[in-house]
Amino acid sequence: MTAPRTLVLLRHGRTAWNAEGRAQGQLDVGLDEVGHAQAAAVAPAIAALRPDVLWSSDLTRAATTAAAVAEATGLEVRHDARLREYDVGARAGLTIPEFAAAHPAEHAAWTAAGGSFENADAVPGAESTDDVLRRILPALTEALGSVAPGGTACVVSHGAALKAATVALLGWDRATATSLRGLDNCGHSVLADAGRGAPLRLVAWNRTPDFAPCTPVG
């Protein structure tokens, strides 16, 4: 029997915009002081999982988090733009009240659709979940496929993109995603390759060291 491969999905540390509730999307916002501390705290926990490869979004908040993991593991980071967060279009840089004030019709449509990253179609210029999955799933599949049976791939990315990708990798209906809370900053999840072309299996969701409370995804 072939040993399963393991995929560890890690969200980046906190940014000032996370703390303010601003939508970051693909804007390049760095970690704040808390985020740096979170990355330093989670790095030994990821190292204990013995990853064989380390991939990361090329956005600074993810790349800086991955650098802390690289220091703890001795691995080199492979940066990949396909692992970026949703492009949030007109919401970028705005809090929800600011979005409502600047784009009232679009805010109303987005709210009516569910008011989440997964309902981004109502926001001008935003990526849909299908758009995100078309780029992120091949990257995650390549990362996992790059390790031998029994090996572990760690990928550092972003909250909403990782949640959408996890639901797809598990073969769950998208409606089920509403029951899965978002990843905390520096929260990580563990998925195992069931083999024979089957969907991955969820081993753990949103494991964190004992630090900051949940902040908005992105």
161, exposed or middle or buried, with CB in 10 Å at 0-12, 13-18, 19+? buried
Mean predicted confidence (pLDDT) in 98-120: 83
Q: Which residue has the higher pLDDT, 176 or 217?
A: 176
Total Cβ atoms within 10 A of residue 192: 16
Whether the pLDDT of residue 216 is over 60: the answer is: no
Mean predicted confidence (pLDDT) in 182-187: 94
Phi and psi, residue 131, nearest 5°? -60, -45
pLDDT band, very low/low/confident/very high, at 214 (cuts 50, 70, 90): very low
Q: Given the structure tokens 């083999």, which residue do they identify?
A: 195
Q: Which of 13, 23, 21 is nearest to 60 (CA)?
A: 13
Q: Which residue has the higher pLDDT, 186 or 213?
A: 186
41, exposed or middle or buried, with CB in 10 Å at 0-12, 13-18, 19+? middle
Whether the pLDDT of residue 179 is over 90: the answer is: no
Mean predicted confidence (pLDDT) in 195-213: 79
Helices (H), 11-128: 16-20, 33-47, 60-73, 96-102, 104-112
pLDDT band, very low/low/confident/very high, at 198 (cuts 50, 70, 90): confident
Mean predicted confidence (pLDDT) in 64-81: 98
Q: What's residue 178's pLDDT?
A: 75
Q: What is the largest CA-CA distance in the chain?
A: 58
Active-site residues, by number, are: 12, 85
Q: What's residue 212's pLDDT?
A: 43
Structure confidence by residue, pLDDT tens digits, 26-50: 999 999 999 999 999 999 999 999 9
The full set of domains in the chain, from first to last, is 6-88+128-207 (3.40.50.1240)
Please state, in angstroms and rounded to a whole number, the distance separating the CA atoms of residues 150 and 133. 26
pLDDT band, very low/low/confident/very high, at 83 (cuts 50, 70, 90): very high
Q: What's residue 215's pLDDT?
A: 43
Q: What's residue 51's pLDDT?
A: 98
